Amino acid sequence: MKWKGWRKMSRKLSFIPYIPNYEFIKEQMQEDLKYRLTDRKRLTSLGRPLYERINVQIVMTQECPYNCPFCMERKNPMTGLFDAEQQILSLKKVLKEHPNARLTITGGEPGLYPEHVKKLVDVFKQNSNNVFVCINTAGYSTELNGIAHINLSVNDYVKPDYREFPDCTYQTVLIGNEMNISNIKKIINENNDAGSFSFRFLCDIENRNYDVSIWNDLQNDNKIKIDTFRIGDFFVYCTFDYNGKHARVTLGDMWQQTNNQYGNGYSNIIIHPDGKIGVNWK
Ligand code: SF4
């Protein structure tokens, strides 16, 4: 399927059009941003939200007992000291203006403070339309079970047992040419009793180019059924089914987000450890 006219079809596609190179994806990101900056008029105290179901991330703490060399939090640490009460106040403030927000509780390692995670999730449920909430963890504490959906980070440096987190999403960063279809299939086949899978590109704030072959390979593989494909202002993702499992490949282009000309628009919200509210990953 060609790109021609795809924007008239839908912003979320049920197939992956042929992608010639990463430049092409960057052009689509710019198109998406242009469209949103023209179309989105609603004004909040933070500016103009470019997505209705906007992603809110609480970077709950910078603390983490692990030491992954590619850790984005360590390379670009968020500001301030952990302030649980201020995080709750900020979350309530954000939800008042964004009742359809999706919430991710991340770190650092949220499992260091499971009681605070529970409080944040309760605040989210009581003060929003409860669209979706998840916790990013490297599996430090099973006390997180049952609080919200768990994205369990697995890599060469942290190897939690996903069986201790029933129905979790097995989430892993694939570096360089590890992001290939046979590797993805191997991981799904070898860990087939995990709930679902999330494969993420290793994204660095300086990186301006990525290998696009995975998108074309996913589309062309007859054992894979594409569910959704989307390019947003700084991200690309697709969801698909393989061997009875649901999976996702995501690329979040941090260079693009840092350099996009947002004006008063914003495509995500960050609540920092000290409760400061920022937008566009700042
Ligand atoms: S587990 Fe996550 S927060 Fe901790 S060092 Fe690894 S990537 Fe960073």
Q: Which domain holds residue 65?
A: 12-277
* Residue 6 forms part of a structural domain: no
- Please check whether residue 272 is in contact with residue 278, taking contact to mean a CB–CB distance below 8 angstroms: yes
Which tens digit of pLDDT belongs to each residue from 40-89?
Answer: 999 999 999 999 999 999 999 999 999 888 887 777 767 788 999 999 99
d(CA 21, CA 211) in angstroms, rounded, equals 8
- Separation of CA 26 and ligand 1 centre (Å): 28
Question: Given a cut of 90, is residue 243 above it in pLDDT?
Answer: yes
* Residue 208 forms part of a structural domain: yes
* Residue 4 forms part of a structural domain: no
d(CA 239, CA 156) in angstroms, rounded, equals 24
- Separation of CA 138 and ligand 1 centre (Å): 7
Six-digit token string for 45: 């105290």
Which tens digit of pLDDT belongs to each residue from 138-162?
Answer: 999 999 999 999 999 999 999 999 9
CB atoms within 10 A of CB 281: 19
Predicted pLDDT of residue 9: 37
Question: Given a cut of 70, is residue 2 above it in pLDDT?
Answer: no
* Residue 204 forms part of a structural domain: yes
* Residue 7 forms part of a structural domain: no
* Residue 282 forms part of a structural domain: no
CATH number at residue 273: 3.20.20
* Residue 21 forms part of a structural domain: yes
Pocket of ligand 1 (CB under 6 A): 64, 66-68, 71, 73-74, 107-109, 138, 153, 158
Atom from ligand 1 closest to the CA of residue 74: 8
What type of residue sits at position 274?
Answer: D
Mean pLDDT value of segment 104-130: 97
Q: How many helices (H) and strands (E) does the chain have?
A: 8, 13
Alpha helices in 19-132 (DSSP H): 22-39, 72-75, 84-97, 114-127
Predicted pLDDT of residue 74: 73
Percentage above 70 pLDDT, the chain: 96
Question: Given a cut of 60, is residue 5 above it in pLDDT?
Answer: no
Instruction: For 132, list phi and psi in degrees, rounded to 5.
Output: -170, 140
* Residue 207 forms part of a structural domain: yes
Please tell me the total count of domains within the chain: 1
- What letter does residue 68 receive in the DSSP assignment? -
Predicted pLDDT of residue 205: 80
Question: Given a cut of 50, is residue 8 above it in pLDDT?
Answer: no
